[in-house]
A = this chain, B = another copy of it.
Amino acid sequence: MKNLLYAQSGGVTAVINASAAGVIETARNHPQQIGKIYAGLNGIIGVLTEDIIDTTHETGEDIANLCYTPAGAFGSCRYKLGDIANHRHQYERLVAVFKAHNIGYFLYNGGGDSQDTANKVAQISLQLGYPVTCIGIPKTIDNDLAITDCSPGFGSVAKYVATSTLEASLDVASMAKSSTKVFILEVMGRHAGWIAAAAALARSPSQPGPHIILFPEIAFDPQAFLTKVQASVDTDGYCVIVASEGIADIKGEFIAKSHNKDSFGHAQLGGVAPYIASLIKENLGFKYHFAIADYLQRAARHIASKVDVEQAYALGQAAVAMAVAGRNSKMPTIVRTQDMPYAWEIGEADLTDVANFEKKMPADFISNDGFDITLKCHKYLAPLIEGEDFPKFVGGIPQYVKLKNKLITKVLEEFTAL
Protein backbone atom coordinates (compact mmCIF):
# COMPACT_ATOMS: atom_id res chain seq x y z
CA MET A 1 0.00 0.00 0.00
CA LYS A 2 1.38 3.38 -1.08
CA ASN A 3 1.21 6.82 0.53
CA LEU A 4 -0.24 9.91 -1.13
CA LEU A 5 1.54 13.26 -1.41
CA TYR A 6 -0.43 16.44 -2.15
CA ALA A 7 1.04 19.92 -2.68
CA GLN A 8 -0.11 23.44 -3.57
CA SER A 9 1.57 25.60 -6.17
CA GLY A 10 1.47 29.07 -7.69
CA GLY A 11 -0.64 32.04 -6.60
CA VAL A 12 -3.14 30.93 -4.00
CA THR A 13 -6.92 31.41 -4.17
CA ALA A 14 -10.01 31.56 -1.97
CA VAL A 15 -10.79 27.91 -2.67
CA ILE A 16 -7.54 25.96 -3.22
CA ASN A 17 -7.93 24.65 0.33
CA ALA A 18 -11.35 23.28 -0.62
CA SER A 19 -9.51 21.12 -3.17
CA ALA A 20 -7.15 20.07 -0.37
CA ALA A 21 -10.16 19.11 1.74
CA GLY A 22 -11.56 17.12 -1.20
CA VAL A 23 -8.26 15.28 -1.54
CA ILE A 24 -7.73 14.52 2.14
CA GLU A 25 -11.32 13.56 3.02
CA THR A 26 -11.55 11.31 -0.04
CA ALA A 27 -8.15 9.73 0.58
CA ARG A 28 -9.13 9.07 4.20
CA ASN A 29 -12.06 7.11 2.81
CA HIS A 30 -9.71 4.80 0.85
CA PRO A 31 -7.79 3.07 3.67
CA GLN A 32 -7.45 -0.08 1.54
CA GLN A 33 -5.55 1.71 -1.25
CA ILE A 34 -3.93 4.73 0.40
CA GLY A 35 -1.68 4.68 3.46
CA LYS A 36 -0.47 8.00 4.84
CA ILE A 37 -1.69 11.28 3.40
CA TYR A 38 1.21 13.71 3.18
CA ALA A 39 1.42 17.31 2.00
CA GLY A 40 4.46 19.15 0.68
CA LEU A 41 5.38 22.26 2.67
CA ASN A 42 5.42 25.10 0.12
CA GLY A 43 4.68 22.97 -2.91
CA ILE A 44 7.34 21.05 -4.81
CA ILE A 45 10.05 22.89 -2.84
CA GLY A 46 9.06 21.02 0.32
CA VAL A 47 9.04 17.75 -1.60
CA LEU A 48 12.60 18.37 -2.81
CA THR A 49 13.82 19.43 0.63
CA GLU A 50 11.92 16.62 2.34
CA ASP A 51 9.81 19.13 4.31
CA ILE A 52 6.73 16.94 4.32
CA ILE A 53 3.63 17.40 6.45
CA ASP A 54 1.86 14.38 7.91
CA THR A 55 -1.85 15.29 7.70
CA THR A 56 -2.74 12.40 10.03
CA HIS A 57 -2.34 14.88 12.88
CA GLU A 58 -5.11 17.15 11.54
CA THR A 59 -8.60 16.64 12.95
CA GLY A 60 -11.54 15.90 10.69
CA GLU A 61 -13.04 19.21 11.77
CA ASP A 62 -9.96 21.17 10.74
CA ILE A 63 -9.83 19.43 7.36
CA ALA A 64 -13.53 20.18 6.83
CA ASN A 65 -12.88 23.82 7.72
CA LEU A 66 -10.31 24.05 4.92
CA CYS A 67 -13.36 24.46 2.68
CA TYR A 68 -13.92 27.84 4.33
CA THR A 69 -10.29 28.98 4.49
CA PRO A 70 -8.52 30.99 1.77
CA ALA A 71 -4.83 30.87 0.72
CA GLY A 72 -2.60 27.79 0.84
CA ALA A 73 -2.89 25.89 4.11
CA PHE A 74 0.32 23.95 3.39
CA GLY A 75 2.17 26.85 1.81
CA SER A 76 2.60 27.37 -1.92
CA CYS A 77 5.55 28.20 -4.15
CA ARG A 78 6.59 29.80 -7.40
CA TYR A 79 9.07 27.20 -8.58
CA LYS A 80 9.32 25.27 -11.84
CA LEU A 81 11.21 22.04 -12.23
CA GLY A 82 13.82 22.13 -14.98
CA ASP A 83 13.53 19.70 -17.89
CA ILE A 84 14.52 16.15 -17.10
CA ALA A 85 17.38 16.08 -19.61
CA ASN A 86 19.27 18.96 -18.03
CA HIS A 87 18.06 18.77 -14.43
CA ARG A 88 18.15 15.06 -13.80
CA HIS A 89 19.35 15.63 -10.20
CA GLN A 90 15.96 17.18 -9.32
CA TYR A 91 14.10 14.13 -10.59
CA GLU A 92 16.49 11.73 -8.90
CA ARG A 93 15.90 13.62 -5.70
CA LEU A 94 12.14 13.34 -6.13
CA VAL A 95 12.49 9.59 -6.64
CA ALA A 96 14.67 9.38 -3.52
CA VAL A 97 12.02 11.24 -1.49
CA PHE A 98 9.19 9.18 -2.97
CA LYS A 99 11.07 5.94 -2.21
CA ALA A 100 12.03 7.03 1.30
CA HIS A 101 8.41 7.77 2.15
CA ASN A 102 6.74 5.14 -0.01
CA ILE A 103 4.89 7.72 -2.16
CA GLY A 104 2.74 6.12 -4.85
CA TYR A 105 0.43 9.02 -5.61
CA PHE A 106 1.50 12.60 -6.28
CA LEU A 107 -1.26 15.24 -6.59
CA TYR A 108 -0.19 18.74 -7.60
CA ASN A 109 -2.66 21.62 -7.27
CA GLY A 110 -1.96 24.65 -9.45
CA GLY A 111 -2.21 26.63 -12.68
CA GLY A 112 -0.49 26.29 -16.05
CA ASP A 113 3.09 26.44 -14.75
CA SER A 114 2.24 24.02 -11.96
CA GLN A 115 0.63 21.56 -14.38
CA ASP A 116 3.93 21.66 -16.25
CA THR A 117 5.63 20.57 -13.03
CA ALA A 118 2.99 17.88 -12.51
CA ASN A 119 3.52 16.71 -16.08
CA LYS A 120 7.27 16.50 -15.53
CA VAL A 121 6.85 14.51 -12.32
CA ALA A 122 4.54 12.18 -14.26
CA GLN A 123 7.52 11.25 -16.46
CA ILE A 124 9.36 9.72 -13.50
CA SER A 125 7.61 6.37 -13.86
CA LEU A 126 8.84 5.89 -17.40
CA GLN A 127 12.17 7.67 -17.35
CA LEU A 128 13.47 6.76 -13.91
CA GLY A 129 11.56 3.54 -13.44
CA TYR A 130 9.88 4.53 -10.18
CA PRO A 131 6.13 3.93 -10.27
CA VAL A 132 4.17 7.02 -9.15
CA THR A 133 0.75 8.07 -10.32
CA CYS A 134 0.78 11.81 -10.87
CA ILE A 135 -2.43 13.85 -11.08
CA GLY A 136 -2.77 17.60 -11.59
CA ILE A 137 -5.59 19.48 -9.84
CA PRO A 138 -6.59 22.69 -11.61
CA LYS A 139 -6.43 26.02 -9.78
CA THR A 140 -6.05 29.56 -11.01
CA ILE A 141 -7.91 32.81 -10.47
CA ASP A 142 -6.84 33.75 -14.00
CA ASN A 143 -9.17 31.11 -15.51
CA ASP A 144 -6.60 30.55 -18.23
CA LEU A 145 -6.19 26.77 -18.00
CA ALA A 146 -6.93 24.83 -21.18
CA ILE A 147 -9.62 22.14 -21.63
CA THR A 148 -11.39 22.66 -18.30
CA ASP A 149 -14.48 24.88 -18.75
CA CYS A 150 -13.34 27.01 -15.82
CA SER A 151 -10.71 26.87 -13.09
CA PRO A 152 -11.31 26.82 -9.32
CA GLY A 153 -10.48 30.18 -7.80
CA PHE A 154 -11.85 32.12 -10.74
CA GLY A 155 -15.53 31.99 -9.75
CA SER A 156 -14.75 33.49 -6.36
CA VAL A 157 -12.54 36.28 -7.67
CA ALA A 158 -15.25 36.96 -10.29
CA LYS A 159 -17.86 37.25 -7.54
CA TYR A 160 -15.58 39.56 -5.55
CA VAL A 161 -14.91 41.78 -8.57
CA ALA A 162 -18.59 41.92 -9.61
CA THR A 163 -19.70 42.75 -6.05
CA SER A 164 -16.95 45.32 -5.51
CA THR A 165 -17.66 46.97 -8.88
CA LEU A 166 -21.36 47.15 -8.00
CA GLU A 167 -20.65 48.70 -4.61
CA ALA A 168 -18.08 51.18 -5.91
CA SER A 169 -20.42 52.13 -8.78
CA LEU A 170 -23.15 53.05 -6.31
CA ASP A 171 -20.59 55.05 -4.35
CA VAL A 172 -19.34 57.14 -7.27
CA ALA A 173 -22.92 57.63 -8.50
CA SER A 174 -23.66 59.23 -5.12
CA MET A 175 -20.65 61.55 -5.27
CA ALA A 176 -20.58 62.51 -8.94
CA LYS A 177 -22.68 65.68 -8.72
CA SER A 178 -20.04 67.66 -6.82
CA SER A 179 -17.01 65.40 -6.50
CA THR A 180 -15.56 62.19 -7.99
CA LYS A 181 -16.76 61.46 -11.53
CA VAL A 182 -14.44 58.62 -12.49
CA PHE A 183 -13.64 55.46 -10.56
CA ILE A 184 -11.09 52.89 -11.70
CA LEU A 185 -10.71 49.40 -10.29
CA GLU A 186 -7.52 47.58 -11.21
CA VAL A 187 -7.82 43.80 -11.13
CA MET A 188 -5.48 40.89 -11.77
CA GLY A 189 -5.00 39.26 -15.15
CA ARG A 190 -1.57 39.58 -16.71
CA HIS A 191 -2.40 38.03 -20.10
CA ALA A 192 -6.10 37.13 -20.00
CA GLY A 193 -9.04 39.40 -19.24
CA TRP A 194 -11.36 36.93 -17.52
CA ILE A 195 -11.26 38.66 -14.13
CA ALA A 196 -11.94 42.12 -15.57
CA ALA A 197 -14.73 40.62 -17.70
CA ALA A 198 -16.53 39.45 -14.55
CA ALA A 199 -17.09 43.07 -13.52
CA ALA A 200 -19.80 43.23 -16.18
CA LEU A 201 -21.94 41.01 -13.95
CA ALA A 202 -22.38 44.04 -11.67
CA ARG A 203 -24.58 45.72 -14.24
CA SER A 204 -28.40 45.85 -14.15
CA PRO A 205 -31.06 47.98 -15.82
CA SER A 206 -30.74 50.55 -13.01
CA GLN A 207 -26.98 50.28 -12.56
CA PRO A 208 -24.78 51.08 -15.60
CA GLY A 209 -21.33 50.46 -14.04
CA PRO A 210 -18.85 49.31 -15.24
CA HIS A 211 -18.99 51.62 -18.25
CA ILE A 212 -15.64 50.43 -19.57
CA ILE A 213 -13.66 47.21 -19.21
CA LEU A 214 -10.04 47.08 -20.34
CA PHE A 215 -8.73 43.67 -21.43
CA PRO A 216 -5.14 42.53 -22.02
CA GLU A 217 -6.43 40.95 -25.25
CA ILE A 218 -7.21 44.41 -26.71
CA ALA A 219 -4.45 46.95 -27.43
CA PHE A 220 -5.13 50.06 -25.33
CA ASP A 221 -6.21 52.98 -27.52
CA PRO A 222 -6.06 56.15 -25.38
CA GLN A 223 -8.18 58.26 -27.76
CA ALA A 224 -11.04 55.77 -28.11
CA PHE A 225 -10.88 55.23 -24.36
CA LEU A 226 -11.09 58.94 -23.50
CA THR A 227 -13.99 59.37 -25.91
CA LYS A 228 -15.88 56.61 -24.14
CA VAL A 229 -15.10 58.06 -20.68
CA GLN A 230 -16.49 61.43 -21.77
CA ALA A 231 -19.59 59.80 -23.27
CA SER A 232 -20.25 57.87 -20.04
CA VAL A 233 -19.97 61.02 -17.93
CA ASP A 234 -22.25 62.85 -20.38
CA THR A 235 -24.87 60.09 -20.17
CA ASP A 236 -24.77 58.98 -16.53
CA GLY A 237 -22.82 61.73 -14.80
CA TYR A 238 -19.95 59.39 -13.95
CA CYS A 239 -17.81 56.60 -15.34
CA VAL A 240 -16.71 53.32 -13.76
CA ILE A 241 -13.73 51.56 -15.33
CA VAL A 242 -12.38 48.10 -14.58
CA ALA A 243 -8.86 47.52 -15.91
CA SER A 244 -6.78 44.35 -16.13
CA GLU A 245 -3.30 44.87 -14.73
CA GLY A 246 -1.96 43.40 -17.96
CA ILE A 247 -3.30 45.87 -20.53
CA ALA A 248 -0.74 46.76 -23.16
CA ASP A 249 -0.31 49.33 -25.90
CA ILE A 250 -0.39 48.70 -29.63
CA LYS A 251 3.27 47.60 -29.52
CA GLY A 252 2.42 45.02 -26.87
CA GLU A 253 4.22 46.87 -24.10
CA PHE A 254 2.55 46.71 -20.66
CA ILE A 255 0.97 50.08 -19.80
CA ALA A 256 1.91 49.62 -16.15
CA LYS A 257 5.56 49.07 -16.98
CA SER A 258 6.03 51.78 -19.56
CA HIS A 259 4.33 54.61 -17.71
CA ASN A 260 5.13 54.27 -14.04
CA LYS A 261 8.33 55.00 -12.25
CA ASP A 262 8.59 54.72 -8.50
CA SER A 263 10.18 57.41 -6.37
CA PHE A 264 13.57 55.79 -6.95
CA GLY A 265 13.16 56.05 -10.71
CA HIS A 266 12.56 52.34 -11.28
CA ALA A 267 9.79 51.01 -13.47
CA GLN A 268 6.99 50.29 -11.05
CA LEU A 269 5.12 47.01 -11.18
CA GLY A 270 1.37 47.27 -10.93
CA GLY A 271 -0.14 50.65 -11.31
CA VAL A 272 -2.33 50.59 -14.41
CA ALA A 273 -4.99 52.43 -12.41
CA PRO A 274 -2.90 55.50 -11.51
CA TYR A 275 -1.83 55.86 -15.13
CA ILE A 276 -5.39 55.64 -16.43
CA ALA A 277 -6.46 58.11 -13.76
CA SER A 278 -3.77 60.59 -14.74
CA LEU A 279 -4.64 60.23 -18.40
CA ILE A 280 -8.26 61.13 -17.67
CA LYS A 281 -7.38 63.99 -15.34
CA GLU A 282 -4.94 65.44 -17.85
CA ASN A 283 -7.26 65.20 -20.85
CA LEU A 284 -10.77 65.51 -19.46
CA GLY A 285 -10.18 67.11 -16.06
CA PHE A 286 -12.47 64.80 -14.09
CA LYS A 287 -11.87 64.13 -10.42
CA TYR A 288 -11.05 60.46 -9.94
CA HIS A 289 -10.57 57.71 -7.39
CA PHE A 290 -8.94 54.36 -7.97
CA ALA A 291 -8.63 51.05 -6.16
CA ILE A 292 -6.10 48.27 -6.67
CA ALA A 293 -7.60 45.02 -5.42
CA ASP A 294 -4.43 42.90 -5.62
CA TYR A 295 -4.36 40.02 -3.08
CA LEU A 296 -7.68 41.12 -1.57
CA GLN A 297 -9.48 39.77 -4.63
CA ARG A 298 -7.98 36.30 -4.67
CA ALA A 299 -8.02 35.82 -0.89
CA ALA A 300 -11.62 36.99 -0.38
CA ARG A 301 -13.06 33.74 0.97
CA HIS A 302 -15.71 35.81 2.81
CA ILE A 303 -17.45 36.37 -0.54
CA ALA A 304 -16.54 33.13 -2.32
CA SER A 305 -18.80 31.62 -4.97
CA LYS A 306 -20.57 28.48 -3.78
CA VAL A 307 -20.24 26.96 -7.26
CA ASP A 308 -16.51 27.62 -7.12
CA VAL A 309 -16.10 26.05 -3.67
CA GLU A 310 -18.07 22.98 -4.77
CA GLN A 311 -16.04 22.57 -7.96
CA ALA A 312 -12.74 22.98 -6.10
CA TYR A 313 -13.79 20.26 -3.65
CA ALA A 314 -15.09 17.94 -6.38
CA LEU A 315 -11.84 18.25 -8.35
CA GLY A 316 -9.87 17.26 -5.25
CA GLN A 317 -12.18 14.26 -4.81
CA ALA A 318 -11.85 13.29 -8.46
CA ALA A 319 -8.08 13.56 -8.36
CA VAL A 320 -7.92 10.92 -5.62
CA ALA A 321 -10.27 8.63 -7.53
CA MET A 322 -8.10 9.02 -10.64
CA ALA A 323 -4.91 8.42 -8.65
CA VAL A 324 -6.28 5.23 -7.13
CA ALA A 325 -7.36 4.14 -10.62
CA GLY A 326 -3.78 4.66 -11.82
CA ARG A 327 -4.59 7.40 -14.33
CA ASN A 328 -1.06 8.83 -14.46
CA SER A 329 -0.43 12.25 -16.02
CA LYS A 330 -4.07 13.35 -15.98
CA MET A 331 -5.98 16.35 -14.62
CA PRO A 332 -9.67 16.31 -13.69
CA THR A 333 -11.61 19.09 -15.43
CA ILE A 334 -14.94 20.89 -15.22
CA VAL A 335 -17.23 20.02 -18.13
CA ARG A 336 -20.22 22.34 -18.55
CA THR A 337 -23.30 20.39 -19.61
CA GLN A 338 -25.80 23.25 -19.42
CA ASP A 339 -25.75 27.05 -19.07
CA MET A 340 -29.12 27.68 -17.48
CA PRO A 341 -29.84 26.16 -15.09
CA TYR A 342 -26.14 25.62 -14.76
CA ALA A 343 -24.96 22.02 -14.74
CA TRP A 344 -21.48 20.53 -14.78
CA GLU A 345 -19.66 17.27 -14.36
CA ILE A 346 -16.07 16.12 -13.96
CA GLY A 347 -14.02 15.27 -17.05
CA GLU A 348 -10.40 14.35 -17.62
CA ALA A 349 -7.51 15.95 -19.54
CA ASP A 350 -3.96 14.88 -20.32
CA LEU A 351 -1.41 16.95 -18.46
CA THR A 352 0.55 17.44 -21.68
CA ASP A 353 -2.47 19.31 -23.08
CA VAL A 354 -2.79 21.74 -20.16
CA ALA A 355 0.84 22.37 -19.19
CA ASN A 356 2.14 25.82 -20.14
CA PHE A 357 -0.94 26.89 -22.08
CA GLU A 358 -2.79 30.18 -21.44
CA LYS A 359 -6.45 30.28 -22.45
CA LYS A 360 -7.27 33.87 -23.35
CA MET A 361 -10.72 35.37 -23.86
CA PRO A 362 -12.14 34.27 -27.24
CA ALA A 363 -12.72 37.11 -29.71
CA ASP A 364 -16.50 36.59 -29.59
CA PHE A 365 -16.50 37.18 -25.82
CA ILE A 366 -15.38 40.80 -26.29
CA SER A 367 -17.62 43.52 -27.76
CA ASN A 368 -16.77 45.15 -31.07
CA ASP A 369 -15.53 48.36 -29.47
CA GLY A 370 -13.24 46.32 -27.20
CA PHE A 371 -14.56 47.88 -23.98
CA ASP A 372 -17.18 45.33 -22.94
CA ILE A 373 -18.14 41.66 -22.99
CA THR A 374 -20.69 40.04 -25.28
CA LEU A 375 -23.89 38.26 -24.34
CA LYS A 376 -22.13 34.98 -25.04
CA CYS A 377 -19.47 35.84 -22.48
CA HIS A 378 -22.14 36.90 -19.99
CA LYS A 379 -23.82 33.51 -20.35
CA TYR A 380 -20.50 31.82 -19.73
CA LEU A 381 -19.63 33.91 -16.65
CA ALA A 382 -22.94 34.26 -14.84
CA PRO A 383 -23.24 30.73 -13.37
CA LEU A 384 -19.70 30.77 -12.00
CA ILE A 385 -20.47 33.35 -9.30
CA GLU A 386 -23.73 31.74 -8.20
CA GLY A 387 -24.41 30.96 -4.58
CA GLU A 388 -22.96 32.08 -1.27
CA ASP A 389 -21.05 29.91 1.16
CA PHE A 390 -20.11 32.24 4.01
CA PRO A 391 -17.49 31.15 6.52
CA LYS A 392 -18.35 31.14 10.20
CA PHE A 393 -17.62 34.52 11.81
CA VAL A 394 -16.22 34.87 15.33
CA GLY A 395 -15.65 38.29 16.87
CA GLY A 396 -16.78 39.92 13.64
CA ILE A 397 -14.21 38.29 11.35
CA PRO A 398 -14.18 34.98 9.49
CA GLN A 399 -12.88 32.01 11.42
CA TYR A 400 -10.21 30.47 9.22
CA VAL A 401 -8.46 27.26 10.19
CA LYS A 402 -4.74 27.07 10.89
CA LEU A 403 -3.41 23.52 10.54
CA LYS A 404 -0.76 21.98 12.76
CA ASN A 405 1.43 21.19 9.73
CA LYS A 406 3.58 18.71 11.64
CA LEU A 407 6.59 17.65 9.58
CA ILE A 408 7.72 14.05 9.30
CA THR A 409 11.25 13.08 10.34
CA LYS A 410 13.71 13.53 7.49
CA VAL A 411 15.67 10.46 6.51
CA LEU A 412 17.65 11.80 3.54
CA GLU A 413 20.62 14.11 3.22
CA GLU A 414 19.90 17.81 2.86
CA PHE A 415 19.05 18.92 -0.69
CA THR A 416 20.75 22.17 -1.57
CA ALA A 417 20.48 22.16 -5.37
CA LEU A 418 17.04 23.83 -5.64
Residues of chain A at the chain B interface (Cβ within 8 Å): 8, 11-12, 14, 42-43, 45, 69-73, 75-79, 159, 162-164, 166-168, 170-175, 177-179, 183, 185, 201-202, 206-207, 259-260, 262-264, 266, 268, 270-271, 273-275, 277-279, 281-282, 289-296, 298-303, 305, 382, 385-388, 390, 393, 395-398, 400, 402
Contact = CB atoms under 8 A, between A and B. Distances in A.
Chain A, interface SS category: mixed
A290 B270 contact: yes
Given A70-B170, A179-B78, A271-B274, A282 B295 contact: no
A200 B202 CA distance: 31
A159 B299 contact: no
Contacts of A291: 292-296
Contact of A282 (B173, B264, B270): B264
B293 A296 contact: yes
Closest 6 CB pairs of A and B: A385-B396, A72-B174, A71-B170, A167-B299, A291-B294, A262-B278
A77 B176 CA distance: 8
Nearest to A282: B264
A398 B302 CA distance: 13
A393 B302 CA distance: 14
A281 B269 CA distance: 12
Contacts of A168: 294-296, 299
B396 A162 contact: yes
Contacts of A282: 264
B387 A170 contact: no
B268 A274 contact: yes
18 contacts: A12-B171, A12-B174, A42-B177, A71-B167, A166-B397, A166-B398, A167-B300, A168-B294, A168-B296, A202-B397, A262-B278, A263-B279, A270-B274, A291-B294, A303-B303, A382-B396, A385-B396, A388-B393
Identical chains bound together, number: 2
Contact of A302 (B71, B167, B295, B402): B167
A268 B65 CA distance: 43
B275 A263 contact: yes
Contacts of A78: 175, 178-179
B278 A178 contact: no
Nearest to A303: B302
Contact of A71 (B171, B270, B275): B171
A174 B13 CA distance: 10
A178 B299 contact: no
B396 A387 contact: yes
Given A299-B171, A395-B382, A289 B294 contact: yes
A400 B398 CA distance: 23
